[in-house]
Structure 1
Amino acid sequence: MKLRDLFRRRKRTPSVAPLGVPVAQVWTSPSQALRALGPSPSILVVKLDHIGDFITALPAVERLRAAFPTSTISLLCAPFVVELARSTGLFASVYSFDFFGARMQAPRFANADDVSELSALGVPPHDIVIDLRQEDEARALLWGLDAKFRAGFADPANPFPLDIALPEMERCMRRKPWPAMTHSSTRLVLLVEALAHARDMQGETAPFATDALAVAETQDCVILAPGTRLGIKGWTAEGWIGLARAMVERTSLDIAVIGRGEEAETTARIAMALPPGRLRDLVGKVELADLPAVMNAAAAFVGVDTGTTHLAASLGVPTVALFSGFADVRVWAPVGPATVVLHAGAGCAPCGLSIETQCPYQRRCMSVIDPEAVLSAMSGVARHPELRRLGAAPQPELVFAAS
């Protein structure tokens, strides 16, 4: 997106975007993007406001240094803060840009000229830029800096997308006083913690006991979990049937289906599509406390956005999550060391619709996900050699068409 287009969208946009034409794709999380920067990403702290604001940000900078001990951390600040900043010894380099001014009373929003002026300063590229201003007047300036990853505070009306963001607490609190407040210094530390946790969030395996049930039930199986409390999150029956059929045709692994009684019909249809003896029907037969044992024994797991998928991911089972447009994938995607999330990136997501019939697009966010996309995603996280040989075809780029 061009810079002028971002400024053109500075006015509040409608809350529901057109659906366009969704395309199934693998979701790349901020955690993956951060880890791709390597163990010692270069970091630029942006703190362009005043002296008191700079002082309150120092605990956050100390936390940043502790979280990224081998990184080079630099600072972009106001000219009148430069010498004070250098005296702290916290920064490898200190750059200056005069945006707010020493005595400005009413902050103004950055415009395209400001961005161009900052870009002309020639601040070196950095892997991560983190803006420690708690309101968004200067947020556009981040696009005058060469960076691979941007973090800061965000407002729904702000058109400048960040890779990691916390809500603008100050603006919310000014609209209506809250009975409990969070100190400004604590808020900045929380932003740094969000950045550090995202970098570290690879999905540690959960410590569930796994001796409650004989694991023979799902050995040499791929578990399918078609059920969900909200039907709008579900995949199509044709999708589950096609996936199961392809799996047994291309591997020696059997299919196990788990769920409650509601999944019996889908399970029966899957069984009819498979050769005799290739499906293990566990629907309604496994207690919740026994699920970790059942899942740990399996070669892989496929499910939708529901509790069993989160459980499989947290156990470290190779997991493919089929994520609908109901919830925000950036917030609610399952996390695990061998988990991949497939979604459609629909323009209407997250919709929050609780009933399937409320969707005016016939849930295309799920119907566009086909079995081949699932098999491709599975091959990238699976440990079983037959699953890895399924072949990971490149995922198509997300394309939106005019609606």
Structure 2
Amino acid sequence: VRIGNHRTAGFVYTHRVWDVAAFLGIEPERCVKPWMYLPDEAIHKARILLEGTRRPVLFSIIGGSKKNKRWPEESWIRLLREMISAGWSAVLAGHGEEEKKMGARIVDMVGSANVMNLVGDLEILETSAVASLCDAVLGGDTGLLHIANSVGVPSVGLFGPTLPEQVGLAGLDKCFISSCKEAGCQRWNCPKKECLGLIDPKRVSKALLCLVSMRADT
């Protein structure tokens, strides 16, 4: 039995998610946001990792499966400098050697002890647990953003070649979409190099500060 859902490759599954939900008596329209269970061991390790970290903490998902789904390093550097100046800390998340090197460069350029590079250092449940203990999440269209969005933390998405509604992320607290006229094109080899780079870090930092401030007031 293979259960899942995909716009173009649905043939790989024997049952659709929605059919299984209907069989179980679950009404998908009532599920406003996904939810993820985290084991106590993962939460415990995450607490140790974040012990002594200055609050608030931004869970920063710096990577993406495709190069043009990643926010440029320069944008991350500008954003993190803004957040650090505002009294925040940041945890960098991702996977793979390329993203780990990217994280190291970002930490080096930001030049602050309040940025922690955890890219590639944790298992998926541990990474998810760290996200759950942060105050906000920021990232592009990637699996980690889906996971972080399911642990109850305010989440902000950065989109260019894909749109939130195309990838099941329309329920994020805030979405920034590239001003490129072809946003949502899903062209992974697009010759245009701007795309996500058109999203202004200053606008993103303001949105994050506002989002967490509003949550604190509720």
The interval holding the TM-score normalised by the smaller chain is 0.7 to 0.9
Q: Deviations over 1:281-302 (max 9, x none)?
A: 2122111121221111111111
Aligned partner letter, 2:166: V
Give 1:369's aligned residue: 199
Q: How many residues align?
A: 185
Give 2:166's aligned residue: 331
Give 1:302's aligned residue: 138
For structure 2, the residue ranges without an aligned partner over 5 or more in a row are: 1-21
Take 1:312 and 1:378, find their aligned partners in 2: how far apart are those partners? Answer: 15
Alpha-carbon deviation of 1:235?
0.7
Take 2:77 and 2:94, find their aligned partners in 1: how far apart are those partners? Answer: 16
CA root-mean-square deviation: 2.7
Q: 1:294 to 1:339 in 2, by over 3 A?
A: same
Give 1:256's aligned residue: 91
Q: Deviations over 1:53-84 (max 9, x none)?
A: xxxxxxxxxxxxxxxxxxxxxxxxxxxxxxxx
Alpha-carbon deviation of 1:240?
0.5
Take 1:216 and 1:375, find their aligned partners in 2: how far apart are those partners? Answer: 27
Query: Percent sequence identity over matched residues?
Result: 26
Alpha-carbon deviation of 1:257?
0.8
Give 2:12's aligned residue: none
Q: Deviations over 1:232-254 (max 9, x none)?
A: 21111110000111110112x22
Q: Tell whether the 8 Å contact from 2:154 to 2:211 is kept in structure 1 after alignment.
A: yes
TM-score (normalised: structure 1): 0.42
Give 2:35's aligned residue: 205
Give 1:342's aligned residue: 176
Aligned partner letter, 1:304: G
Q: Tell whether the 8 Å contact from 1:310 to 1:335 is kept in structure 2 after alignment.
A: no
Give 1:280's aligned residue: 116
Give 1:215's aligned residue: 47
Give 1:381's aligned residue: 211
Q: 1:216 to 1:385 in 2, by over 3 A?
A: farther
Q: Tell whether the 8 Å contact from 1:301 to 1:317 is kept in structure 2 after alignment.
A: yes
Take 2:115 and 2:77, find their aligned partners in 1: how far apart are those partners? Answer: 11
Alpha-carbon deviation of 1:379?
3.0
1:359 and 2:190 equivalent?
yes
Aligned partner letter, 1:381: L
1:239 and 2:75 equivalent?
yes
Partner SS state of residue 255, structure 1: strand
Take 1:207 and 1:282, find their aligned partners in 2: how far apart are those partners? Answer: 21
Partner SS state of residue 277, structure 1: coil
Q: Tell whether the 8 Å contact from 1:323 to 1:329 is kept in structure 2 after alignment.
A: yes
Take 1:205 and 1:383, find their aligned partners in 2: how far apart are those partners? Answer: 23
Q: 1:233 to 1:275 in 2, by over 3 A?
A: closer
Take 2:112 and 2:174, find their aligned partners in 1: how far apart are those partners? Answer: 30
Alpha-carbon deviation of 1:307?
0.3
Partner SS state of residue 38, structure 2: coil
Take 2:170 and 2:186, find their aligned partners in 1: how far apart are those partners? Answer: 21
Q: 1:197 to 1:225 in 2, by over 3 A?
A: same
Q: 1:206 to 1:236 in 2, by over 3 A?
A: same
Q: 1:328 to 1:304 in 2, by over 3 A?
A: closer
Q: 1:381 to 1:204 in 2, by over 3 A?
A: farther
Q: 1:207 to 1:269 in 2, by over 3 A?
A: same
Take 2:214 and 2:98, find their aligned partners in 1: how far apart are those partners? Answer: 30
Give 2:5's aligned residue: none
Aligned partner letter, 2:49: E
Take 1:210 and 1:247, find their aligned partners in 2: how far apart are those partners? Answer: 30
Take 1:255 and 1:384, find their aligned partners in 2: how far apart are those partners? Answer: 20
Q: 1:339 to 1:210 in 2, by over 3 A?
A: farther
Q: Deviations over 1:10-48 (max 9, x none)?
A: xxxxxxxxxxxxxxxxxxxxxxxxxxxxxxxxxxxxxxx
Alpha-carbon deviation of 1:371?
0.9
For structure 1, the residue ranges without an aligned partner over 5 or more in a row are: 1-189, 191-195, 389-403
Q: Tell whether the 8 Å contact from 1:223 to 1:255 is kept in structure 2 after alignment.
A: yes
Take 2:94 and 2:34, find their aligned partners in 1: how far apart are those partners? Answer: 25
